[in-house]
Copies of this chain bind each other. A is one copy, B any other.
Amino acid sequence: MAAMNNPSPGRLASVYSEVQTSRLHHALQLPSVLSSQFSLVDRPPSSATGNPDEIAKLFPNLFGQPSAALVPAKEAAVEGKPLKVGVVLSGGQAPGGHNVICGIFDFLQHWAKGSTMYGFKGGPAGVMKCKYVELNTDFVYPYRNQGGFDMICSGRDKIETPEQFKQAEDTANKLELDGLVVIGGDDSNTNACLIAEYFRSKNLKTRVIGCPKTIDGDLKCKEVPTSFGFDTACKIYSEMIGNVMTDARSSGKYYHFVRLMGRAASHITLECALQTHPNIALIGEEVAEKKQTLKNVTDYMTDIVCKRAELGYNYGVILIPEGLIDFVPEVQKLIAELNEILAHDTVDEAGVWKNKLEPESKKLFEFLPPSIQEQLLLERDSHGNVQVAKIETEKMLITMVETELEKRKAEGKYKGTFIGQSHFFGYEGRCGLPTNFDASYCYALGYGAGALLQSGKTGLISSVGNLAAPVSEWTVGGTALTSLMDVERRHGKFKPVIKKAMVELDGAPFKKFVSVRDEWGLKNRYISPGPIQFIGSGADGINHTLILELGVQA
């Protein structure tokens, strides 16, 4: 397919708000190591997070390669000859993605004059189909410090089959790519490493560098302290939560159940809790670790509602990660049994079919609100499986707490009033204007990725550290993607995976939360972070999770 130079006018035709325009003019500072001559220093050889022998077999060319750090140098380590570099966005949107691209672009403009940069359109499919736009100064400019992924858009395809790897190879050859930067989450970075290995095995000159993206915050390790977008998304959600808290306290009559993004890990819920001090925040990892049942979770919430009613508070705010019920072991068991039963039997009106469930599963099923029971039985995906993801957890929990409260009221144990209001904050946070932190972090990630490519590196993920310090003191380098990997057994084969970083129950953010949550439960310690500010007070603050994990005093 032919090059599509600026096929749509992109944002050039857009009208910008005053704030968007002011962000366009916001000057980005670089870590000082990137603002003058630098060279790369290799660290010791790396291993893998788990099963290094299997990882070594899967990545014969890349396994064991060292991570690299940029250090100041007297003169350029490599000749600044022009490069041809492609970039691709993979997976869901996260604030700051455009700045990663701007970082790569500016690096090439400054350190490799005459370079060409291609943006693959619509995610990895763009790489496979060689569908791209050539990026130039005019095209890139309107996206600086702006939210969204619409400069080149994203996609959820993966480069997996031998044919698809061949297509990627053809594209790399056709465009004579020196490098490809893959901006994505855990899966996309695993994929980036497989492509790097493949290109190396084919003796292609094309290097591949990953960048850590996901608002969920579950792609991180020692050298990659956070994924971009998490900071902005949590601050947007926290603004809304803070507003709802003030509303709850003002009207005094609602319990707001707020579901937040984060299916696999509960980092967003934990961070928003640390920012806003809700009465209750449920953390999936804790529910799983303690093998809690839905009844346990309901009782925990209901106990707090009852104690608050005694204190005269018939209102509150409760945060819930969207993946909560995936963490409840008994729910997993029920779902598995339901899938089995529904595949072979019919569901009779009288409910005789329920006797096919194991006793505990039957008990759980009957504990669920009727609307959820119905949803489990009726809404099936294309494989006929129950669709857990479609359950509106916040509404389910409202009904369950309501039912438990009615029981207690009948027993004379509760005299309050309870009105639940449900919220889901999701799409609102994925495409906001990046915070100053995400704007700078992404720019450094992209600029650093350019430096890694120029130095001939492949199979690394761009890593920027020392993030609690001023931007000028941030460290820049690359971490071997293989060092983040473990294997999973799928269809009788080992498959490499970057394990999602879960909320650690012995980590500083969760421990901080545990130390204060009882107080938050009964007393009203609500904080309203307010809208993200780009200048003035609070504009340069970073999120609590990062501060606590870095061990810096808040």
Interface residues of A (CB under 8 A from B): 13-23, 92-93, 146-150, 153-154, 236, 239-240, 242-244, 246-247, 249-252, 254, 256, 275, 277, 421, 423, 427-433, 523, 525-538, 541
Contact = CB atoms under 8 A, between A and B. Distances in A.
Most interface-central of A254, A528, A536 (chain B CB within 10 A): A528
Q: For the complex formed by this chain, how many copies does it contain in all?
A: 2
A46 to B, nearest CB: 34
A433 B240 CA distance: 11
Contacts of A432: 239, 243, 246, 530-531
13 contacts: A17-B538, A18-B538, A19-B528, A148-B247, A153-B251, A239-B531, A240-B240, A243-B432, A244-B427, A247-B430, A250-B431, A423-B427, A423-B428
Contacts of A22: 536-538
B246 A236 contact: no
Given A149-B250, A249-B148, A251-B93, A530 B243 contact: no
Nearest to A277: B15
Most interface-central of A146, A244, A277 (chain B CB within 10 A): A244
A23 B537 CA distance: 9
A75 to B, nearest CB: 41
A150 B23 CA distance: 34
B535 A532 contact: no
Given A243-B147, A534-B536, A536-B22, A528 B250 contact: no
A365 B57 CA distance: 65
A276 to B, nearest CB: 9
Nearest to A93: B250
Nearest to A25: B537
A21 B541 CA distance: 14
Contact of A530 (B20, B93, B148): B20
Contacts of A526: 14
B431 A421 contact: no
Nearest to A156: B251
A240 B423 CA distance: 14
Contacts of A421: 427
Most interface-central of A252, A530, A531 (chain B CB within 10 A): A530
B527 A243 contact: no
Contacts of A529: 17, 19-20
Contacts of A17: 242, 275, 527-530, 538
A206 B275 CA distance: 45
Given A18-B541, A535-B535, 16 more contacts: A17-B242, A18-B538, A20-B527, A147-B528, A148-B246, A150-B250, A153-B250, A240-B240, A243-B428, A244-B428, A247-B427, A531-B532, A531-B533, A533-B533, A533-B535, A536-B536
Contacts of A250: 93, 148-150, 153-154, 431
A154 B525 contact: no
A275 B16 CA distance: 10
A431 B247 contact: yes
Nearest to A247: B431
Given A247-B93, A423-B427, A427-B244, A433 B531 contact: yes
A15 B528 CA distance: 9
A251 B433 contact: no
A538 B535 CA distance: 12
Contacts of A240: 240, 428
Contacts of A254: 427
A43 to B, nearest CB: 36
Contacts of A430: 243, 247
Nearest to A233: B243
A537 B18 contact: yes
Contacts of A433: 528, 530-531
Contacts of A242: 17
A183 to B, nearest CB: 13
